């Protein structure tokens, strides 16, 4: 079951050859959406468009896959606004009530007319099934990424896509989380930022930051939270949903053969712990060693020093078997008391093959 107040659909409109490529999240009543976006200074037109609308009451979130809608021509933003305007007209709302996310190949003009032509079917197929929507947002993903939780009578349902160009903030990653919880907007924004920090912003597949990263958390505000205990429980469940989705992205990393958890202990601060973890998660040398099950810990020392983290001879580096599909590496910096965890995968020849032919 979906959270109260939402409907979903997904169709094939012709952006991709055969697979579903156009999705819609529809709010039966205007809803509040918290949005977090890529830190890339060359963002997709969709990201620029959404930043203008994110503080408005939202009726629909349109998603296309197969085309990043980014740096394709001078009229790209105008085309994006035109698509959103036509969807708004079809739904009887204003363009300001629409959000639009895109993922796929950068530099190709988005097929505006194919998308607009699909609106009739997209709206007609709105319903309470999540399957088609979850498939419509995928690109090089090998499986749909869905996570769900219940708390105090409310539902949290999350979807994500991503397998390559994964590096905070955030990744070539789209995340859509819908819920029916009713709570203070400022508090919700705080909770969302904390959840994203420990999940989507704590993963890396290849250290490459996309132009399209977007996470939306939309609420229909149907189920009020009655006390601090319920708010705390919601916060925890949201973190769990986000982390589950983030881990799925890493496990589906392009060409990946291993899921790797990197735990950093005894850093000077949580920021340093995260910096240390990401220095390893983004190191091609370190990730290649993981693929070869080669415990070459000199690459850990090198990566830490590269980001300005000086360690002593007493640094401790431990790991589970590097030959298994799930690996945990624990690095004790012995510089303080702070801790952090990041998630990554190995770097394989298959990753090169996938991206050498991706166009």
Which residues are known catalytic residues?
172
C-beta separation of 7 from 26 below 8 A: yes
C-beta separation of 174 from 50 below 8 A: no
DSSP 75: T
Strand partners, 105: 67
Pairing of strands 145-151, 154-161: antiparallel
Q: For the packed helices 298-306 and 284-291, what is the interaxial angle rounded to 10 degrees? A: 160
Tokens of 236: 């925890």
Strand partners, 31: 58
Rounded Cα distance between 270 and 273, Å, is 5
Rounded Cα distance between 84 and 81, Å, is 5
Nearest-5° angle of CA 323, CA 301, CA 340? 75
Q: Give every CB contact of residue 196 below 8 A, 6+ residues apart in sequence.
A: 36, 170, 215, 242
C-beta separation of 31 from 71 below 8 A: no
Tokens of 56: 């408005």
Other CB atoms within 10 Å distance of the CB of residue 194: 14
Q: Give every CB contact of residue 308 below 8 A, 6+ residues apart in sequence.
A: none
Rounded Cα distance between 356 and 359, Å, is 8
Tokens of 230: 């319920």
Q: In what helix (H) or strand (E) does residue 170 lie, and over which residues does it extend?
A: none
């Amino acid at each position: 079951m979906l959270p109260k107040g939402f409907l979903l659909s997904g169709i094939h409109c012709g952006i991709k050859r055969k697979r579903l490529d156009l999705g819609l999240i529809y709010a039966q009543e205007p809803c509040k959406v918290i949005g977090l976006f890529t830190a890339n200074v060359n963002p997709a037109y969709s990201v620029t468009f959404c930043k203008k609308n994110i503080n408005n009451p939202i009726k629909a979130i349109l998603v296309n896959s197969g085309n990043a809608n980014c740096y394709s021509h001078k009229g790209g933003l105008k085309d994006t606004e035109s698509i959103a305007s036509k969807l708004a007209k079809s739904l009887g709302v204003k363009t300001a009530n629409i959000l639009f996310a895109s993922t796929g190949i950068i530099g190709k003009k988005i097929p505006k007319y194919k998308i607009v032509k699909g609106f009739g079917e997209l709206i007609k197929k709105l319903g309470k099934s999540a399957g088609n929507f979850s498939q419509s947002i995928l690109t090089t993903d090998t499986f749909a990424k869905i996570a769900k939780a219940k708390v105090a009578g409310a539902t949290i349902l999350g979807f994500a896509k991503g397998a390559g160009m994964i590096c905070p903030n955030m990744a070539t990653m789209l995340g859509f989380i819908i819920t029916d919880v009713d709570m203070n907007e400022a508090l919700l924004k705080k909770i969302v930022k904390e959840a994203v920090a420990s999940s989507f912003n704590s993963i890396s597949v290849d250290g490459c930051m996309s132009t399209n990263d977007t996470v939306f958390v939309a609420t229909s505000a149907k189920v009020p939270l009655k006390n601090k205990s319920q708010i705390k429980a919601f916060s925890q469940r949201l973190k769990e949903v986000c982390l589950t989705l983030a881990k799925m992205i890493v496990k589906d990393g392009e060409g990946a053969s291993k899921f790797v958890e990197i735990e950093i202990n005894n850093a000077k601060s949580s920021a340093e712990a995260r910096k240390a973890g990401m220095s390893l998660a983004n190191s091609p040398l370190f990730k290649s060693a993981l693929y070869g099950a080669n415990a070459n810990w000199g690459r850990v020392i090198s990566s830490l020093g590269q980001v300005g983290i000086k360690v002593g001879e007493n640094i401790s580096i431990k790991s589970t078997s590097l030959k298994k599909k799930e690996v945990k590496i624990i690095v004790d910096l012995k510089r303080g008391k702070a801790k952090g965890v990041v998630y990554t995968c190995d770097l394989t020849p298959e990753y090169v093959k996938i991206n050498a032919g991706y166009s």
